[in-house]
Structure 1
């Protein structure tokens, strides 16, 4: 298994080095390089397929996970309550971003130098959704 992972890593490294070489050379690649890249891609695909087929055995051989916590009505309602701030904050951010975004586009069309200020206003409107997500994460930690 580790041999296949190493083979895939070498294939990816080879493709990156070839791409950097072609970018820096600024000329048409030689014919032998095109065949090498295709062979490298084929080898990568074969190693990935082998990794998937051989990895199934290791995943299926793992022991069963610890039993999950029993879900009661109260626990389910608590999870729903934890999800509410994220959902409502995302809806509020969407409502706020609509007019702010259209106004920002109108201002940028007339005065392109105002681009930075409009990004600040869009970020403030988007911050509402982030605050809702943070609140949900904090409440999930208390559960």
Structure 2
């Protein structure tokens, strides 16, 4: 059974992490507040990781493995674990790169299309190339997972 602190503490952590996003959803954000919000999210993430480590060290289980038997039943090798980590990194980093590419290409495509409507097809290709990076990363991730 979960104790009250094991139930409320993760709920409070999720609430504290999502709290800075309220101003974004209301539409009240400036460049300074965006930097502050980013710093808040990064610091809360590392506080969350530190809190999980402290709870596990004190015997309170943050994750689902609350019994010793379930930990002993896990099978797999270091190579499998590193393979899963590689698949996750490939997917995440390719999505991040695609987001950066689309953030640069989409406004330029909109500007080119607004000046001349014949530029729609040409500008759409550059936006699609940025999205292709994420699809290629997902494909590589699936290939990695099939090898495990």
The higher relative CO (CA closer than 8 Å, separation ≥ 6) is in 1
TM-score, normalization: structure 1?
Answer: 0.49
TM-score, normalization: structure 2?
Answer: 0.47
